[in-house]
Chains A and B, each alone.
Chain A
Amino acid sequence: MSKVGILGIGIVPARALSSDVSYRELIFEAAVKAYEDAGIEPFDVDTFVSVSEDFNEGVSIFDEYVPDQLGAVLKPVHTISGDGLYGVISVAMQIMTGMFRIGVVEAHSKASNVLNHLKILELALDPVYLRHTGVDPRFLAGLEMRAYMEASGIDAESVARAATHQRTNAIWNPLAAYPGKFSPDDVLLTEVVAEPLTEGMVAQPADGAVVVVLASEDVIRSQKKNQAVWIEGMGFYTSEPSFDTWVWERATYAELSARKAYEMAGISCPSKEISFAEVDSRYAYKMLQHIEACALTDGRNPAQLLRDGFFSKEGTLPVNLSGAHMGIGMMEEATALYQLAFAADQLLGRAGRMQLSDPYRCIIQSWRGLPTRSGATCILSRD
């Protein structure tokens, strides 16, 4: 089986509004940059995957609206939902078959086109047993956050600190839409969404697009010499999809997918063999929960580690230096690929003010968002 690596990435900086272009033009811009970075023409690409969800686009059968701006006309292309990392894994698996040498993943967000995000989220709830309350559907995040906090002894201030951690990190990420310097109190004092969840703990929507070009080892060796980033491990799982059997206090899907990816990469002690991590944080408490699920704390309390600076740039195991969802912005399927791009830059020594000294391997973990128990992970490493 061929090893799969990253040949190039194109990103449009995330922003709260993008009235200067349409969603197709956003994708087009990212695609042009990606092919330039990869040193290829779209005609060289053997297979394309776009990651999107019809309701977020406001167009049904959205896959038909993808090929032309990607250079994917007259080519194999399909759309999957889930999350950007699912797209990466899907293309990587295609390349591993040996049937394809170069594959492209696309994810984007035109969240500013959506006038009522809460209604889309409400439509994801089970119509018979969950939609009856009529309240802000983020009540599910409130239920989950409380269960997690009570089970792990983490307080709301620690969750607020997870939010400020990411927004501060985003100050040094030029692709981030929501950088800022805040105190945990600032976060705690924002409007209550679903107690204990406050507005300041919810990632805000952003527009953007990412195109990632993946390729087999022979293609990458012929172009990138010894400057490449490889996908060492992958996993994606759905744990308990029905709310009545949810394990409320744990992110089981992340535990399973991380374990799978570690196994594939031959990692037995993640906290020692991982240089840094990028995890999903659509709601601030998810950062702490996902860090634990990825087995990065050796049984220690992630809130205490966060307070001690363990996850900071100077810490032992930096987490979400990119700013993640809280700092970059909530771009549904796309944010995880902004994190993947940041991680690839880290491994190649191109992360600017956030550059770590000599990182060699990282984990990227994603979640499909409410009301799902689905998520994916990838392990990246450099030569």
Chain B
Amino acid sequence: MSIWRKVHVNKKAHAWEGDIPIYFSYTVGPAGEKFFTALKEKGVFVAVRCRQCGKVYLPPRIYCEVCMEDVEEFVEVQPEGRVVTWTEVTRDSRGSLLEKPELIGFINIYNTDGGIIHKIVAKDFSKESLTGAEVKAVLKPPAERSGELGDILYFELKV
């Protein structure tokens, strides 16, 4: 047993072209409903606190990953926080160059142990000071919100 012959001429190497056209509708669940409803209607974030260990999850979940307990103490928090880490990307997910580079950051939301990953708009920022900077979410006008993360346009530096 072995491979006796291989294709050894480029033009004779055939390939079958295929794609995977699959579509989904991902439900957000009870915790997600609370989060996105509050974002849409009140312009705030909803987090959830575990009574057992005190950890505050954002995005909210209905279970604690530390205690494996039900968590149901939902709390509203302002869409503001601190940049934990950030990057600047040059391409989109198809690999095409973006019109201009975009800042993306993980923002720890105040009064929670979690956070949101989103675009940051910062004019004249210095690389040295963006980590740790205070930012707040800029939301779409209430009438244009549809209850998804796109309702947040970006985070901007708090002045």
Docked-complex contact B90 and A28, CB < 8 angstroms: no
The answer to whether the Cβ of B125 comes within 8 Å of any Cβ in the partner chain is no
Docked-complex contact A139 and B8, CB < 8 angstroms: no
Docked-complex contact B59 and A25, CB < 8 angstroms: no
The answer to whether the Cβ of B148 comes within 8 Å of any Cβ in the partner chain is yes
Docked-complex contact B87 and A139, CB < 8 angstroms: yes
Docked-complex contact B131 and A146, CB < 8 angstroms: yes
Docked-complex contact A136 and B93, CB < 8 angstroms: yes
The answer to whether the Cβ of B105 comes within 8 Å of any Cβ in the partner chain is yes
Docked-complex contact A194 and B131, CB < 8 angstroms: no
The answer to whether the Cβ of A225 comes within 8 Å of any Cβ in the partner chain is no
- Shortest Cβ distance from residue A237 to the other chain B in the assembled complex, whole angstroms: 14
Contact of A21 (CB < 8 Å), options: B2, B3, B24, B57 = B3
Q: Considering the complex, give the chain B residue whose CB is closest to the CB of A150.
A: B131
Give bound CA distance, A144 to B105, whole Å: 10
Docked-complex contact B102 and A245, CB < 8 angstroms: no
Count residues on chain B whose CB falls below 8 Å from chain A CBs.
48
The answer to whether the Cβ of B7 comes within 8 Å of any Cβ in the partner chain is yes
Docked-complex contact B7 and A134, CB < 8 angstroms: no
Proximity string of chain B (47-86) to chain A, C-beta cutoff 8 Å, 1 when within and 0 when not: 0000000000111000001000000000000000000111
Proximity string of chain A (145-159) to chain B, C-beta cutoff 8 Å, 1 when within and 0 when not: 111001000000000
- Shortest Cβ distance from residue A11 to the other chain B in the assembled complex, whole angstroms: 15
B:88-102 near A, CB below 8 Å? 88-95, 98, 101-102
Docked-complex contact A119 and B94, CB < 8 angstroms: yes
Docked-complex contact A143 and B104, CB < 8 angstroms: yes
The residues of B that contact A29 with a CB separation of less than 8 Å are 2-3
The answer to whether the Cβ of B117 comes within 8 Å of any Cβ in the partner chain is yes
Docked-complex contact A248 and B57, CB < 8 angstroms: no
The residues of A that contact B148 with a CB separation of less than 8 Å are 132
Docked-complex contact B86 and A21, CB < 8 angstroms: no
Interface size bracket, A side: 35 or more
- Shortest Cβ distance from residue B157 to the other chain A in the assembled complex, whole angstroms: 17
The residues of B that contact A20 with a CB separation of less than 8 Å are 6-8, 13
Docked-complex contact A244 and B57, CB < 8 angstroms: yes
B:125-159 near A, CB below 8 Å? 131, 148-150
Give bound CA distance, A138 to B15, whole Å: 28
Docked-complex contact B150 and A132, CB < 8 angstroms: yes
The residues of A that contact B24 with a CB separation of less than 8 Å are 127
The answer to whether the Cβ of A128 comes within 8 Å of any Cβ in the partner chain is yes
Give bound CA distance, A265 to B118, whole Å: 43
The residues of B that contact A145 with a CB separation of less than 8 Å are 87
Contact of A150 (CB < 8 Å), options: B6, B85, B87 = B85
- Shortest Cβ distance from residue B66 to the other chain A in the assembled complex, whole angstroms: 9
Docked-complex contact B88 and A142, CB < 8 angstroms: yes
A:98-131 near B, CB below 8 Å? 113, 116, 118-119, 122, 127-130
Docked-complex contact A143 and B86, CB < 8 angstroms: yes
Give bound CA distance, A143 to B148, whole Å: 23
Docked-complex contact A245 and B114, CB < 8 angstroms: yes
Contact of B89 (CB < 8 Å), options: A127, A128, A135, A147 = A135
Instruction: Answer whether A118 and B87 are a contact pair too, CB < 8 Å, given A20-B6, A135-B102.
Output: no
Docked-complex contact B89 and A144, CB < 8 angstroms: no
Give bound CA distance, A146 to B26, whole Å: 31
Contact of B92 (CB < 8 Å), options: A129, A136, A242, A244 = A136
The residues of A that contact B105 with a CB separation of less than 8 Å are 143
Instruction: Answer whether A146 and B86 are a contact pair too, CB < 8 Å, given A135-B104, A244-B59.
Output: yes
The residues of B that contact A191 with a CB separation of less than 8 Å are 90
Instruction: Answer whether A243 and B90 are a contact pair too, CB < 8 Å, given A20-B6, A147-B85, A248-B84.
Output: no
The residues of A that contact B87 with a CB separation of less than 8 Å are 139, 142-143, 145-146, 194-197
A:243-264 near B, CB below 8 Å? 243-245, 248
A:261-307 near B, CB below 8 Å? none
Q: Considering the complex, give the chain A residue whose CB is closest to the CB of B26.
A: A127
- Shortest Cβ distance from residue B10 to the other chain A in the assembled complex, whole angstroms: 7
The residues of A that contact B7 with a CB separation of less than 8 Å are 19-21
Docked-complex contact A245 and B32, CB < 8 angstroms: no
The residues of A that contact B102 with a CB separation of less than 8 Å are 133, 135
Give bound CA distance, A146 to B127, whole Å: 11
9 smallest A-B Cβ distances: which pairs?
A142-B87, A244-B114, A19-B13, A147-B85, A20-B6, A195-B88, A132-B149, A194-B87, A127-B26
Show 13 residue pairs from A and B whose CB-CB distance is below 8 angstroms, ordered by the A residue: A21-B3, A21-B6, A118-B91, A122-B93, A128-B149, A129-B117, A130-B117, A132-B118, A132-B150, A135-B91, A135-B104, A194-B87, A195-B87
